[in-house]
Amino acid sequence: MGGIYALMSIGLNLIFGVIKVVNFAHGEFLMLGMYIAYWAFTLYGLDPYVSLPLVAISILALGALTQGLIINPLLKTKEINQVLATIGLMIFLENLALFLWKSDFRSVLTAYSAASISIGEMRISFARLLAFAVAMGTALAFYALLTKTDVGRRIRAVAQDAEAAELMGIDHRRIYIATFGLGGALVGVAAAAMSPIYYAFPTVGALFGPTAFIVVVLGGLGSFIGAMIGGLIIGIVESIAGVLTNAELAKAFAFAIFLLVLFRKPTGLFGERARV
């Protein structure tokens, strides 16, 4: 789960770091991705990892459309308009899913869903281990894209100074659309990886969306490494707390860790203070 949290948070952090917009519909993007993986499995028998490219591309397109049609026209208006727009999108997507697929819990049961690997007396879920490996592999591949490719350099240039990047011939609005799309694609990968280990239902985004925000703030706004480490910390804390106490209290422990770090270091573990 820490790997899934990290991947979701990297996408959220990317959008905020470049566009300076908080996407409150981030959890609903995850929910739609899980439904796409579910229906691909149910209707066509596609394993979630086979349909992963389809899910990633679909949520990438959704992210690009969200930026191009909803956020871009509001960039020069008050920031509250952008916040309200993503909140409105969140409510719309959640209720659309409820209308289309009702409130039923739907699951993807693959041949490896219940499989486990034994190490001594410890048993590790194969599906969860696979999800972690895919999440971390995708995160590292995305880091390479940001640091080694021309697109990544353009994204980082716009994140540092959009006006200066514009003077260098970079169309910052196109980069914004690409950035929002890439953030959505990361959520799509997380959704496909989660499908064999978690139920799909209309409000699943409300469970994972807030956790992604916690991870972003915990790791530090704009920090790639912070999002990865923050996601792993929250995932481990929730898992240990769920075993030692109960599942209902697991989120409370995660919030407690988040508050402790925030009180000690308001910028997060790897964040820096803004320069005025």
Q: Using pLDDT thresholds of 50, 70 and 90, give the confidence band for residue 50.
A: very high
Cα angle 271, 215, 162 (rounded to 5 degrees) comes to 50
Quick check: is 62 in a domain?
Answer: yes
Write down the mean pLDDT value for the chain. 89
Under the phi-then-psi rule, with left for phi > 0, alpha for psi from -120 to 50, and beta for the rest, what region is 45? left
Give the pLDDT of residue 272. Answer: 58
Tokens of 24: 């409150």
273 found inside a domain: no
**H or E element that contains 88:** helix 79-101
Q: How confident is the model at residue 241 (pLDDT cuts 50, 70, 90)?
A: confident
User: What pLDDT was estimated at residue 275?
Assistant: 41
What would the mean pLDDT of 54-65 be, rounded to a whole number?
96
Residue type at position 39: W
> Of how many residues is the chain composed?
276
On whether residue 79 sits in a domain, the answer given is: yes
What whole-number distance in Å separates Cα of residue 131 and Cα of residue 189?
A: 10
Domain holding 65, by residue range, is 2-105+121-201
Report the pLDDT value the prediction gives residue 16, as an integer from 0 to 100: 87
Name the residue among 202, 224, 207 with its Cα closest to residue 270: 224
What does the pLDDT read at residue 52?
96
**Taking the CB of residue 20, how many other CB atoms lie within 10 A of it?**
15
Q: Is the pLDDT of residue 73 over 80?
A: yes
pLDDT at 199 over 60: yes
- Residue 254 · residue 237 · CB < 8 Å: yes
pLDDT at 276: 36
Mean pLDDT of 68-88: 91
The more confident residue out of 229 and 39 is 39
The answer to whether position 20 is within a domain reads yes
Average pLDDT over residues 127-131: 92
Residue 174 lies in a domain: yes
Query: How many domains, in total, are found in the chain?
Result: 1
Q: What is the pLDDT of residue 59?
A: 96
Residue 74 forms part of a structural domain:
yes
The answer to the question of residue 159 being in a domain is: yes
- Whose CA is closest to 10, among 183, 263, 214? 183
Which residue, 264, 206, 260, 221, is CA-closest to 237? 260
**What does the pLDDT look like over 95-113, one tens digit per residue?**
999 999 998 999 998 888 8
Dig out the tokens for 48 from the structure. 């979630």
Q: What's the pTM value of the predicted model, to 2 decimals?
A: 0.91
pLDDT the model gives residue 162: 86
Instruction: Give pLDDT, residue 60.
Output: 96
Residue 243 lies in a domain: no
Give Rg (Cα) of the chain. Answer: 19
Give per-residue pLDDT as tens, 146-183.
Answer: 999 999 999 999 988 888 988 888 898 999 999 999 99
Which has the higher per-residue pLDDT, 214 or 273? 214
- pLDDT of the residue at 271: 65
